Structure formats: C-alpha cells, structure tokens
Structure 1
C-alpha cells in the first residue's frame, strides 16, 4: 500500500505545523542482500542520494510492517522475514530538501527472506541497484555505512545496538 505524502501521518502533521518546528519521527530502514552479498540501495528522488530502503511509520503500523512496506514501496520487492539489529536515536537533526527539520528514531532490520522482481524506478526512487559493500556509490546517504557496520557487528555476535 503506497501512501501519498499528503495523506501520510507525517505529511498531515507537516501540513498542520509547517516546516518550522523540529519533529521527531519513528521509522525503519532495511538491509536487503542478494545471494552474492550485495546490498540493495535506492536512489532517493528527493535528494538524489543513494540510501537503504527506509521511511516513517504510519499510524496503526508496527516497525516491522513499516520496514516491509518501505522495501515494497521503494523497490517492488516483498520482504517476508526481518531481524532487527539496531535502533538509532542520536541527537543529530536532519533537514530535508524542503527545509523541514527532523530528529529520527529508526529501527534497522536485516531482511532475511524476500521475493519479487526489483523495480528500479518508483514514485519514491530514481533508481535501485544491488551494490557490493566494497563498491558503494559516492553520493551515499550518511546512514548507510554506519548501518552496515552495525549489521556486521551484530552478525559477528555483538548484541542489538542502541545508539
């Protein structure tokens, strides 16, 4: 189910508040890998940067379902099972291309099983591709490398990361 921005929880909230106040958001980002260990990245249509599939939770939705929905909306792939490995809630603020500022609380999940055919261009993406972790695009969102590092530590036996 794709929710147009103006109908989304955050879109409706921004319509009320305008761009000025900092809003706190809750969402999820997903690390999906193919059989060769390449990571799925999307090129965002709002800023052109390469990022992990991610987004904000909708009312009545779980974080698990948020991650699954975002993967589908941004790639056409259906995530079936996910494993959470980190929760990021740092002090850093993000200002989007429209001048609105947010503090994000984001659950990172590993997509363990998935199906479907990759759709490279969607309403939210300019492109999508599987990339080797050693050969990531230059114009990369700031959350990608830390998230991949958190996942590597988790898979090596470290506990769930809380940052």
Structure 2
C-alpha cells in the first residue's frame, strides 16, 4: 500500500516533487512501512522527500493501479514547519497552482492533487492502468472549478 500527501498552503498552492528516478512530477509519498500507521507513513514520506513537517487533515482519494496491483491513499495535509529541500528521491520541490498541476503532471498523478480540493468529505475512488483512468464514477475537477 502506498500513501501520498496533497499538502495545501493557505494561498491554495499544492506541494509536488519531481522524482529523481523518472523525472515525473508527483505528490510526495511512498510505500508504508510494516509497523507504521497510515498517517505516520504520510508524514514520514513527505518529510523524507521535501523536508517539510505536515499535519494530516483527511483522506481525499483511493486510487488503484490495476496493472501494478498498487492501492494509493491520498491525504490532504497542511504544512507545519520545515524548509523545502531535495532528497535522494526528489530533484525539485515546488508549490503549484491547480493549473500548473494540470500542465506539469500526468493526469493519474495530477488528479490526486486536484481531488484534494473537493469540498465533499467523502474520498473519491478511482481506478487506472498507470496511464489512463478506467472509470469515471466520481469525476475530478478541472482547475477552473477550484
């Protein structure tokens, strides 16, 4: 199981990293360790990849990659302390507007961040093959709708 954070600042920008292994822009996150809680895993992954400490607000989405058999939980978070920094896993850390998310990120990752702006308390549930969404049971928001 993997976890990721949609870290949203007060100005509405959301945190993203450019991964060192493949150069893609994604939300910070990774695989849970065996003995850690989901929330602790989110905080650890965000800190390891960006240098920021965050508070976890709520689950915003559940995403299954049917090709790899991976389920990712994405949580809306808020920055608490720290300074953005690079790691072995990231070559860039940036605060993006919703429009920049759509421009820089593949939809299967960008939508995870855009879903975190939804006002509904219930998380979205989506399925993809690594590149394309396989269902649209809960449509995402376009940046103009945020």
Work out which of the two has the higher radius of gyration on C-alpha atoms and give 1 or 2: 1
Asked if 1:45 is matched to 2:20, the reply is yes
Unmatched segments (≥5 aa) in structure 2? 127-146
Q: Aligned match of 2:9 in 14, 34, 40?
A: 34
Query: Is 1:135 the equivalent of 2:110?
Result: no
> Counterparts of 1:30 and 1:152 in 2: how far apart (Å)?
12
Q: Output the TM-score relative to the length of structure 2.
A: 0.76
Cα distance between partner residues in 2 of 1:85 and 1:73: 21
Alignment size in residue pairs: 126
Among 137, 149, 152, which residue is 2:117 paired with?
A: 152
Separation in 1, partners of 2:4, 2:35: 18
- 2:72 and 2:51 map into 1 onto residues whose CA distance is 21
RMSD: 1.9
Q: Report the CA distance between 1:80 and its aligned residue.
A: 2.6
1:150: Cα distance to partner? Answer: 2.4
Other-structure match for 2:36: 61
Indicate conservation of the 8 Å contact 1:50/1:137, yes or no. Answer: no
Give the deviation of 1:139 after TM superposition. 4.5
2:54 corresponding residue in structure 1: 79
Between 57-66 and 129-138, the greater mean CA deviation after superposition: 129-138
The alpha-carbon deviation at position 76 of structure 1 amounts to 0.3
Alignment partner, residue 83 of structure 2:
117
Choose which of 63, 66, 70 in structure 1 pairs with 2:45.
70
Deviation at 1:113, TM superposition (A): 4.6
Contact 2:52 2:84 in 1 (8 A): yes
Q: Secondary structure at the match of 1:69?
A: helix
Q: Which moved more, 1:58-67 or 1:82-91?
A: 82-91
TM-score with structure 1 setting the length: 0.69
Find the aligned partners of 1:48 and 1:90 in 2 and give their Cα distance: 20
